[in-house]
A and B are shown apart, each in its own frame.
Chain A
Amino acid sequence: MNPLENFRMAFESLWGNKLRSFLALLGIVIGVFAVTAMISLGQMATAGITQDLEAIAGRSIFVQPNFNEGQDFSTAPIREEDILALQTLPAAVIPQLFTSAQYEARPGTRRSIQLQGTPGDLPRLDPTNKLAKGRYFSEAEARGGLAVAVLSDRAARDLFPGREAVGQVARLFYPNGARLELTVVGVLQPPGGLFGGLGAAATVYVPNELIWNTSPTARKGQYDFVVLSLKKGADARQVTRQAQRIFESRYGKGKYQIASTESFQDTLRSITLILQALLGAIAGLSLLVGGIGIMNIMLVSVTERTREIGLRKALGATSSQIRQQFLIEAVVLTLVGGLLGVVLAAGLLLVITATVPFFKVFILNPATVLLALAVSALVGLFFGVWPAARAAALDPIEALRYE
């Protein structure tokens, strides 16, 4: 008797018991559905996070004084000579200043806003900054410390609600009351993706030189923060190590925090991995429960079909042919369940990609499908062994006598 014959026979017998077969394989359907959906969702999440991170931060390295050491900001600044040293690396070096300022939302009410010093022509240095309107102040304007500003999308809406910001004058105040009047030359695009909501800070970008000249706390030639925007083909890990070496040789270990966006991605990836492992465990549990369900239904089936088994033996079936028949029936049952589970998972993934903006691409690897089906077949094989052995061991006479 060939295996194909066995499969046909298994299908016939399962089809004859549609409702019960379906109920029996519900556990398998859920288990395989969970496995498939979780693996693919994990892959889709990783893809989404990676894309979003690259959109807002590109491939960058961030250098800033390490606050964990309990030091004062001003005791560990980044100096002009550090910037010169960093410029030997394959990256655009963008030294920046951070300070806070206030603006008059209504007469008498002042609100905080972030003031950020940058070099001129930032979008060219770091392409993740995209202009929505106007222009970015030039390198010459930046060097001259002119009172010009580019606003983040949020800052434009806060400072000039319902009005065109470009061309306006923004009035800001330092905490000590000193006034700053800035001509707005451009507005940036809001960041997209998952980080669109989180990263939508109200920020006013001005030349570093201007902050040095006007802020009561900033000191000329000292920066708070440096972004290294990696050139194409540069290796993030290697450049990170080189930057670390520059700062360690000058100031010792642990004074500066130097991390790349890729290390953030690594963190996100490991979180995703833990999540997947957890969900995989849940899926495994439901497969175990599903498998026991299959075993149960197969044992019931063997008992119910005692006479059939006896008859088949009387007609010349060997014990191993009977065993094969019931094993294949269990495998067909779980494979059908696995197939249903994969189809359900694919449906869910399609709905998610269509409705949740974060999940941009539908990912269902053939390897995942193959794994899901292999797992369901193995579950059938494993949990079918005992019922099949019981069927094979039946004494034909006892079986024929069985009422």
Chain B
Amino acid sequence: MLDATPSCLEVRNLVVEFPGRHGTVTALNDITLDIRPGEILGVVGESGAGKSMTGAAILGLLERPGRIAGGEISLAGRRIDGLGDRAMEKVRGREIGAIFQDPLTSLNPLFTVGAQLSETIRQHIPGTSRAQARARAVELLQEVGIPAPQERVDHFPHQFSGGMRQRVVIALALAARPKLIIADEPTTALDVSIQAQITGLLRKLCKEHDTAVMLVTHDMGVIAETADRVAVMYAGRLIEIGPVEDVLKSPAHPYTRGLMASIPALGARVRTLHQIDGAMPRLNAIPAGCAFNPRCTLAGPRCRRNRPDLIPTRSGQAACWLYEGGVE
């Protein structure tokens, strides 16, 4: 897709490998995606597909022995893959804000929430006084909807509920006003009204400060409301990407179609939910051809032989032979 606005984040042919006792597994394979300033890209896909790993690779936080084995990552035109640990630490926090899937792992149980927020603020905005940092911390807690923030600022993480802790982590990520926010399941444990408040906040930041957001979530309702475009991952690859309306309402890839059909409907109550039978292949046992072919009801001989690349569809792209010459 050609567009005049330069990208905030550019990922080109990213490959991530984990060398291990039983050979090397490729956890991410040939991931290419862009996010423009002010744009929210939703990332969805089955558990273990590589969504969090993509975020970790961008942040330079791959767990050892994992490593980037190919491709490029650029932020506002500057290559950031391969930067040293010190340089990358500066990029994180100041230029890229991260909201992790497991809120407890981002919070230190020994310090009050206010102390942790103030430290981040003072680290990233030099010249901030203690009092200013504290006032800003209270303001951030308020922004993410924590009641009585003046008092809560002095509480420890374990004194918050699960959803409140998640919001504290969101406040931490916003503290330095980054260019890009990587939000991994930011609203997972939140009830619908707080969820609406957080997604509203993300959208507002996006529009007001031109922040780019990579929003990883399995909640299609959140995607529908928040994202501009959606990327669908399966077994370490991108298999579909396109505008949110099209991917949700008329998904092109058979996997995406199955995914959309497994959402419990609010209207009708059924005894058994639709499920895509089988499981995603393990990374060291990815079948030949299209990785989804053993579970796909439309698969033909070609799908078992050759792996399709992303192929243009009506408004996006899908890695499926249905869109180029058929499955025979």
- A and B: partners? no
